[in-house]
Amino acid sequence: MKKFPRNSEIEALSSWILDESKKQGVSGADVLYVQGRSTQLSLMDGEVEESLSGTSVGIGIRTIMSDGRQGISYGNSMDRFSVKELLEWSIANCRNSEPEEGISLYSGKLVNDPSLFLEDPRIYDITSEDRMNYCLEMNNHAKSMDKRIISVRSAGWQDGYGSSFYCTTTGLSGWESATRASCGVALLVSDGTSTEMGAYGESSRKLDELDIRYSAAESVRKAISYLGASTIKTGTYSVVLDQETTASLIDIVADLFCAPEIHKGRSMMKGQLGNKVASPCITLIDNGRIAWKSGSSSWDSEGVPTGETLLIENGIASSYLYNLQYAWKDGVQSTGNASRGLSSLPDVDTTNIILKPGTESGEDIISSIKKGLYITEFMGLHTVDSISGNFSIGAKGLMIENGELTHAVSGVTIASNLLDFIKRITVVGSDLKYFGSVATPTVVVEGIVIAGD
């Protein structure tokens, strides 16, 4: 197995890059180095379909001129000659770029927060035999649950780990490491008349948080629930979104609070701070410091400590998300939401997004609905217009009649406006669940027009 360069070698090389950049007349520079290893296994009907393992290293160099010009270059060769060429390219790109206002480097400190628990030592010890056993157990458990299963298209497992090193000409210098693992099942079911597909997966930094049997069971439940689906009559309904569907919706809402989208006129949240943008039962939080979660880190990609930002409080828009540049433009502090890859300049992104839960369980919510639609999947949600908020998307789920889930529903369309939709949320459940870096409960949306027959 290929070994990563020693930390001391990367630190020395990065220090040399920063020293050389100063000699070339730039006003500032930073270096981002990442290394990682990932392994995945996927079975189709119990047979190996895909088995991959890879190791990667990379380095990105950003240089900055005093007038706000920036340049970036990246590569995966760590020898001094190759890195020297990268620095030359970065400086050339910098000199040929356009000046921008607010470009700066953070001058604080990089402090690792051990309470975030970004690494699970057990993931480092996973073997090929372990991965095979995980996949076989998911495959076999799914197949054993229902005779209508005709194929387990994929029972997959992936695990990996990585480290990053960040340093700047302002004196920042630090390492951070993390682990990750994921599992998932996708399968086909048929009742002789219709065929449906169901899939479910989980991911976590912590091995014990993954339940392979639950993932298999959820994929079966979802697939079976869609069998025999039919449309419903066009009308106005109470809509209940399950946790995962709510997560897909809230993920889009949270992205509207990223400052670059506001400044570039690409978000309907522009000018909305202090205004009502959602139901009073909606409180939405971005928090990059939650233990074990995939969006957590000690600092962002500019070295600014991550933190907690209230995006919506009781339906009122409260704050945007910032990196250093856009914080300067708005005269505020960075929220620690800078995001950057090796080949890109700093942007802004969310960390962990949490929709604050209420007090009612998912079961109690459903039992309180006389006539409605329990939506388990939106189709085409990515087509929501981020400026106007208008959307027209497909949906699948189950009919709710007198507090009971009855028959499967598909072939229906919801055309609405995002702001109007989230203002119509009347209940937020207590059953908070994480889907990657987004945590949401069940919610109820009242008075939604659904187009069917």
Q: What is the pLDDT of residues 135-148, one digit of tens each?
A: 999 999 999 999 99
Checking if the pLDDT of 252 tops 80, the result is yes
Checking if the pLDDT of 268 tops 90, the result is yes
Question: What single string gives the DSSP state of each residue in 29-83?
Answer: EEEEEEEEEEEEEEEETTEEEEEEEEEEEEEEEEEE-TTS-EEEEEES--SHHHH
Q: Six-digit token pair at 342? A: 């090796």
pLDDT for 125 equals: 97
pLDDT for 408 equals: 97
Report the sign of the C-alpha dihedral through residues 424, 383, 411, 188, in that order.
Answer: negative
Give percent of the chain with pLDDT exceeding 70. Answer: 100
pTM of the predicted model as reported, rounded to 2 decimal places: 0.96
Contact 402, 370 (CB under 8 A): yes
**Least confidently predicted of 107-111, 161-165, 339-343:** 107-111
Span 405-453, pLDDT tens digits: 999 999 999 999 999 999 999 999 999 999 999 999 999 999 999 999 9
pLDDT for 224 equals: 96
Span 64-93, pLDDT tens digits: 999 999 999 999 999 999 999 999 999 999
pLDDT for 1 equals: 63
Other C-beta atoms closer than 10 Å to the C-beta of 89 total 17
The 10 Å CB-count burial string (b at 16+, else e) for 284-321 is bbbbbbbebbbbbbbbbbbbbbbbebebbbebbbbbbb
User: Could you tell me the pLDDT band of residue 24, with boundaries at 50, 70 and 90?
Assistant: very high
DSSP 321: B
Contact 239, 416 (CB under 8 A): no
Please state the rounded mean pLDDT for residues 59-63: 98
Q: In whole numbers, what is the pLDDT of the chain averaged over residues?
A: 97
Please state the rounded mean pLDDT for residues 213-231: 96
